[in-house]
Amino acid sequence: MATILREWSYRYQWLYDSISKVAAITVGGDYKFRRLFLRDLTITADTKVLDLCCGSGQATEILVQFSQDVTGLDASPLSLARAKKNVPQAQYIQAFAEEIPFSDRSFDLVLTNTAMHEMQPDQLQQILKEVYRVLKIGGTLAIVDFHKSNHWLFQAGISIFFHLFETETAWQFIDTDLKQVLTAIGFTNYRDRLYAGNSLQVIQVQKSQIST
Ligand SMILES: C[S@@+](CC[C@H](N)C(=O)[O-])C[C@H]1O[C@@H](n2cnc3c(N)ncnc32)[C@H](O)[C@@H]1O
């Protein structure tokens, strides 16, 4: 169960950003944290990018430095209003990630940054299937999110953080075998990197066959 801090962190952007910055210390600071997903990705000016669950544009801001074709999608009108103000170079759409309002094979890259831990298990499945559908053949999905730590200090930190700010979906998420889930959907070339005592994961997978 989360506390009132969860609601406040969404209501007040300065609080969300401050929490993010404190958490980012574990990977060497905010600058590094925000760019973790870039490793091994090639993003050019015409790469079509979807920032799924873009929030207030925290990752969108990095993406528009590489691509001129970035779309941010989020269900929250408040977050989207902030994203439009913070990162006007991107386009935005209000929608649920479970029903991405784009046609099949629309994007070269889908990034979802610290959002999938908020989804119920069946919702997560549906979202990842949708991502597979909207990716072009050869396109990449990058996921940055929590991971189950094997270090007591990070386990304690994550436990406190989850109790204050997250719901049961975050605990379910770190117990999910994402490699198995993604592979069952059809993604290939699974690669992951772990950071901060394994409490943070950056996954990259590809769509290398036509979706059914
Ligand atoms: C923890 S924030 C992450 C925001 C941002 N990506 C970042 O890096 O900070 C999660 C975001 O997911 C959005 N979200 C949650 N469920 C969603 C859904 N089913 N469809 C679309 N957006 C959703 C929320 O509105 C929120 O902006």
For the chain, what are the domain ranges?
4-207
Distance from C-alpha of 71 to C-alpha of 50, rounded to nearest angstrom:
5
The ligand 1 atom nearest the CA atom of 96: 20
22 pLDDT higher than 80: no
Tell me the per-residue pLDDT of 32-49, one tens digit each, with 9 for 90 and over: 888 999 999 999 999 999
> Minimum mean pLDDT among 10-14, 61-65, 90-94: which range?
10-14
pLDDT bin (cut points 50, 70, 90) of residue 1 is low
Q: Name the helix (H) or strand (E) containing 108.
A: strand 107-113
Asked if 211 and 132 count as a contact pair (C-beta separation under 8 A), the reply is yes
The ligand 1 atom nearest the CA atom of 57: 5
Tell me the per-residue pLDDT of 149-208, one tens digit each, with 9 for 90 and over: 988 988 888 888 888 888 899 999 999 999 999 999 999 999 999 998 899 999 999 999
Gap from CA of 56 to ligand 1 centroid (Å) = 9
Return the SS3 of 98. Answer: helix
Q: Identify the DSSP state of 137.
A: E
Nearest residue (CA) to ligand 1, atom 26 = 55
Contacts of 141 (CB under 8 A, 6+ apart): 109, 110, 111, 112, 128, 131, 132, 135, 182, 187, 203, 204, 205, 206, 207
Residue-level pLDDT at 165 = 80
> Encoding tokens for residue 187?
């993604």
Supply the angle between the helices 13-24 and 4-11 in degrees, to the nearest 10. Answer: 110
pLDDT bin (cut points 50, 70, 90) of residue 25 is confident
Looking up tokens 């007591």 gives 152
The ligand 1 atom nearest the CA atom of 144: 8
Residue-level pLDDT at 210 = 59
12 pLDDT higher than 80: no
Share of the chain above pLDDT 90, in %: 72
Compute the C-alpha angle 79/191/148, nearest 5°: 65
Gap from CA of 74 to ligand 1 centroid (Å) = 6
CA dihedral sign of residues 81, 87, 88, 89: negative
Residue-level pLDDT at 211 = 47
Residue 81 to residues 28, 66, 86, Cα–Cα distance (Å)? 30, 22, 9
CATH of 4-207, one of 3.30.1110.20, 3.30.565.10, 3.40.50.150, 2.60.40.180: 3.40.50.150
Tell me the per-residue pLDDT of 80-122, one tens digit each, with 9 for 90 and over: 999 999 999 999 999 999 999 999 999 999 999 999 999 999 9
**Taking all residues of the chain, what is their mean pLDDT, rounded to a whole number?**
92
